[in-house]
């Protein structure tokens, strides 16, 4: 998804909303034996400010499935998390950079998927691991 900042500025459309399905890279899920199922739903809004910085609020929604990190049974979980980021035209370690013309959301959305995923996937909240009887 691209936000065409220069064009939107010319059209005086300083705010807007977007929604799309994003197919993440295969290796985006860091939990062993698990993967992101299908595509990630990305929904959000942007606001272009006077200094050409652009505020973007968005939510990523997706499912992780695979094997429980403790007992290896099939497990699945839904993840939904909101992010609030800023794109600027100069180098700034706290924000995302763009060229002043178009914003490509890919890197920010990939980061959002990385930051929003849990460290483990469990078949149920109180899973204690493989039963040894």
| 77 or 79: CB nearest Zn ion | 77
77 binds Zn ion (CB under 5 A): no
**Closest distance to Zn ion from the beta carbon of 69 (Å):** 7
Please work out, in degrees rounded to the nearest 5, the angle formed at the alpha carbon of residue 61 by the alpha carbons of 108 and 83. 40
Structure tokens at 68: 């429980």
CB contact at 8 A, 28 and 113 = yes
The stretch near Zn ion (CB under 5 A) out of 10-18, 25-33, 43-51, 115-123 is: 115-123
14 binds Zn ion (CB under 5 A): no
* Burial group, residue 7, by CB count within 10 angstroms (0-12, 13-18, 19+): exposed
Q: Which of 1, 28, 71, 79 binds Zn ion (CB under 5 A)?
A: 71
40 binds Zn ion (CB under 5 A): no
């Amino acid at each position: 998804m691209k936000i065409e900042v220069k064009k939107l500025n010319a059209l005086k459309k300083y705010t807007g909303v977007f929604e799309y399905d994003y197919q993440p890279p295969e290796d985006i899920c860091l939990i062993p034996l698990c993967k992101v199922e299908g595509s990630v739903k990305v929904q959000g809004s942007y606001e272009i400010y006077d200094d050409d910085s652009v505020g973007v609020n968005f939510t990523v929604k997706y499912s992780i499935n695979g094997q429980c990190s403790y007992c290896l049974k099939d497990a699945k979980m839904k993840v939904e998390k909101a992010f609030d980021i800023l794109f600027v035209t100069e180098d700034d370690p706290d924000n995302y950079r763009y060229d002043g013309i178009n914003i490509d959301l890919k890197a920010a959305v990939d980061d959002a998927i990385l930051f929003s995923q849990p460290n483990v996937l469990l078949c149920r909240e109180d899973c204690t691991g493989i039963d040894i009887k």
